[in-house]
C-alpha cells in the first residue's frame, strides 16, 4: 500500500522549484496559480531569498503549489482542477499542516485552484494574526513525553505540533517561551524556531475565522482515497467534514504522530514525499526504526521522478480497466470495533447520510453513514471486527456505468 505525503512550512529552501520549471507547462501552471494566490510563485520558487520564502503569507501557497505541480508528473497525475484527483493508484494521502490542502486536492476533494486559494488566504491571515502579539515556537527534542507536556502546560504554552520520534513543537507568548527554554524539562533540548509566531494555537483564532468565511463558499467533494487528518490521524470520508477540519487546523495542534500511527495500522509499505521533500521522510525514518518501516522516496527534483514512478508501480494499487459498477467504499474514521446497524443487510437500498453502523471506541461510539444513495453491495467488516482508521467497512454501489 502506497502513501503520498505533502510537507508543511519550514521544508522550503531557496530555488527548490528551479528544476521543475523546465518541465512542459510548469511555468504557465505556476503563473495561473500565482494569479489566484496574489503572489509570484515562479519568483518565490526560483530566485527569492531565505527571508522572502519564510514569510508565512508567501510560503503557504508556494508549498501547496510545489506539491501539486510535482504530482501532475506522476502516473495518474491529473490536470489542475480535475475534480477526481490524480495518482489513481495511490491508496493514502496526508499532509503536514498547510500540506493538508495539497493532500485534499490529490484526494479529489478540492480542485487545485481551491487548494491554492485557501492556502493563500490561510497564509495571509496567519501572518496577520502573528503580527497582533509577540509569539514564538520552539522544538522540544527528547525528554519524557508526559513530563514535557506537563511543563508546557505549567508555563502557559501550547503543544502545537506532535511530530513523533520524541519531537514536540511548543508555542506561545515569546516571554514565556524564553523561560521554558532556559529551564527545559529533564533530558530535553529546546531549539527556538525561526517562524513568525504561534501557529496551531488559540493565537491564530482571527485567521481561523477569516479562513472559515472563504471556505464557506467552496463545495468540496468526498475524498476518493484514504485521506488522513492532522487533527487526530483519522481518515476523513466526507468532504464537508474535511473542509471544517482544514479550517479548524489553523488553531488546533498538528497530530502528525497519530497520522504516522495510522500509516502503520493500515500496513503502508511505500511512502512518497512530494517537494520540497525530506522533512516528513526524516520523521518517518525516526519513528519506524529498523526494517519494519516503509520504503521511502523523496521527490525533490525531476531527476527523482523515475524512482517515484518505480515506487508507485511496486507499492500502488493495480487499476482495473474492466467494465464495472460504480461504487463507494465507506471507511472507518477511528480505531475500535465495528457494529453494523441492526436489520441492515446486503442488497438493501440506502439513502444519503443513512446510518449503517458505528465504531465503538474508548471515547464512545462513532457513527458511520452512507455517502450517497445506493445499494449496500457488500459488508467489508462485520459484528465486533476490530477496525483501524481508514479501513473499509462497506461497499455501496449505484447504477451501472
Domain boundaries, the chain: 2-128+202-315, 132-192, 327-397
Specify the CATH superfamily of domain 2-128+202-315: Malonyl-Coenzyme A Acyl Carrier Protein, domain 2 (3.40.366.10)
Residue 399 has pLDDT above 50, yes or no: no
The predicted structure's pLDDT at residue 378: 85
Tens digit of pLDDT for each residue in 61-100? 999 999 999 999 887 655 444 444 457 678 899 999 999 9
**Which residue among 158, 200, 315, 358 is the active-site one?**
200
Helix, coil or strand: residue 39: coil
Say how far apart CA 43 and CA 65 lie, in whole Å.
13
CATH class as words, domain 327-397: mainly beta
Higher pLDDT, 325 or 115: 115
Length of the chain, in residues: 401
Specify the CATH superfamily of domain 132-192: Malonyl-CoA ACP transacylase, ACP-binding (3.30.70.250)
- Catalytic site residue 97? yes
The predicted structure's pLDDT at residue 85: 44
* pLDDT, mean of residues 5-20: 95
**Which residue among 6, 34, 97, 237 is the active-site one?**
97
Residue 334 has pLDDT above 90, yes or no: no
Give 387: exposed, middle or buried? Use CB within 10 Å, 0-12, 13-18, 19+: buried
> pTM score, two decimals?
0.80
Give 389: exposed, middle or buried? Use CB within 10 Å, 0-12, 13-18, 19+: buried
Cell of 281: 521522510
Say how far apart CA 115 and CA 108 lie, in whole Å.
11
Give the mean pLDDT of the chain: 89
The predicted structure's pLDDT at residue 362: 83
Tens digit of pLDDT for each residue in 21-48? 999 999 999 999 999 999 999 999 999 9
- Catalytic site residue 351? no
Share in percent of the chain as helix, strand, coil (round to 5): 40, 20, 40
Residue 248 has pLDDT above 90, yes or no: yes
Using 50, 70 and 90 to split pLDDT, how confident is the model at 395?
confident
Give 285: exposed, middle or buried? Use CB within 10 Å, 0-12, 13-18, 19+: middle
Tens digit of pLDDT for each residue in 205-245? 999 999 999 999 999 999 988 999 999 898 888 899 999 99
Residue 321 has pLDDT above 70, yes or no: no
Tens digit of pLDDT for each residue in 255-290? 999 999 889 888 899 999 999 999 999 999 988 876
* pLDDT, mean of residues 159-175: 93
Residues contacting 195, CB < 8 A, separation 6+:
9, 10, 54, 56, 136, 137
The predicted structure's pLDDT at residue 196: 87
Amino acid at each position: 500500500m502506497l502513501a503520498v505525503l505533502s510537507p508543511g512550512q519550514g521544508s522550503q529552501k531557496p530555488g527548490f522549484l528551479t528544476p521543475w520549471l523546465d518541465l512542459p507547462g510548469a511555468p504557465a501552471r505556476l503563473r495561473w496559480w500565482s494569479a489566484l494566490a496574489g503572489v509570484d510563485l515562479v519568483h518565490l520558487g526560483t530566485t527569492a531569498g531565505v527571508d522572502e520564502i519564510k514569510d508565512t503569507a508567501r510560503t503557504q501557497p508556494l508549498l501547496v503549489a510545489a506539491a501539486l505541480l510535482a504530482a501532475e508528473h506522476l502516473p495518474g497525475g491529473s490536470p489542475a482542477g480535475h475534480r477526481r484527483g490524480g495518482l489513481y493508484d495511490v491508496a493514502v494521502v496526508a499532509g503536514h499542516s498547510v500540506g493538508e490542502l495539497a493532500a485534499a486536492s490529490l484526494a479529489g476533494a478540492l480542485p487545485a485552484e481551491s487548494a491554492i486559494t485557501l492556502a493563500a488566504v490561510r497564509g495571509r491571515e496567519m501572518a496577520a494574526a502573528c503580527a497582533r502579539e509577540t509569539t514564538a515556537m520552539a522544538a522540544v527534542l527528547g525528554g519524557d513525553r508526559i513530563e514535557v507536556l506537563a511543563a508546557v502546560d505549567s508555563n502557559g504554552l501550547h503543544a502545537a505540533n506532535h511530530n513523533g520520534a520524541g519531537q514536540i513543537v511548543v508555542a506561545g507568548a515569546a516571554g514565556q517561551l524564553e523561560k521554558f527554554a532556559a529551564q527545559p524539562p529533564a533530558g530535553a533540548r529546546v531549539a527556538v524556531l525561526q517562524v513568525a509566531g504561534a501557529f496551531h494555537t488559540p493565537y491564530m483564532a482571527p485567521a481561523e475565522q477569516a479562513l472559515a468565511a472563504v471556505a464557506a463558499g467552496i463545495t468540496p467533494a468526498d475524498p476518493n482515497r484514504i485521506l488522513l487528518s492532522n487533527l487526530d490521524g483519522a481518515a476523513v470520508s466526507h468532504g464537508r467534514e474535511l473542509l471544517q477540519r482544514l479550517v479548524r487546523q489553523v488553531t488546533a495542534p498538528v497530530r502528525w504522530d497519530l497520522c504516522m500511527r495510522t500509516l502503520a495500522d493500515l500496513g503502508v509499505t511505500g511512502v512518497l514525499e512530494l517537494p520540497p521533500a525530506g522533512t516528513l521522510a526524516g520523521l518517518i525514518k525516526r519513528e519506524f526504526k529498523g526494517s519494519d518501516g516503509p520504503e521511502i522516496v523523496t521527490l525533490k527534483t525531476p531527476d527523482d521522478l523515475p524512482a517515484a514512478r518505480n515506487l508507485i508501480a511496486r507499492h500502488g494499487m493495480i487499476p482495473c480497466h474492466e467494465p464495472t459498477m460504480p461504487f463507494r467504499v465507506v471507511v472507518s474514521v477511528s480505531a475500535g470495533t465495528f457494529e453494523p446497524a441492526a436489520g441492515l443487510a446486503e442488497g438493501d437500498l440506502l439513502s444519503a447520510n443513512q446510518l449503517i453502523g458505528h465504531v465503538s471506541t474508548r471515547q464512545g461510539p462513532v457513527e458511520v453513514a452512507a455517502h450517497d444513495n445506493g445499494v449496500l453491495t457488500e459488508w467489508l467488516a462485520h459484528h465486533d471486527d476490530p477496525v483501524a482508521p481508514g479501513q473499509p467497512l462497506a461497499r455501496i454501489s449505484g447504477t451501472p456505468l
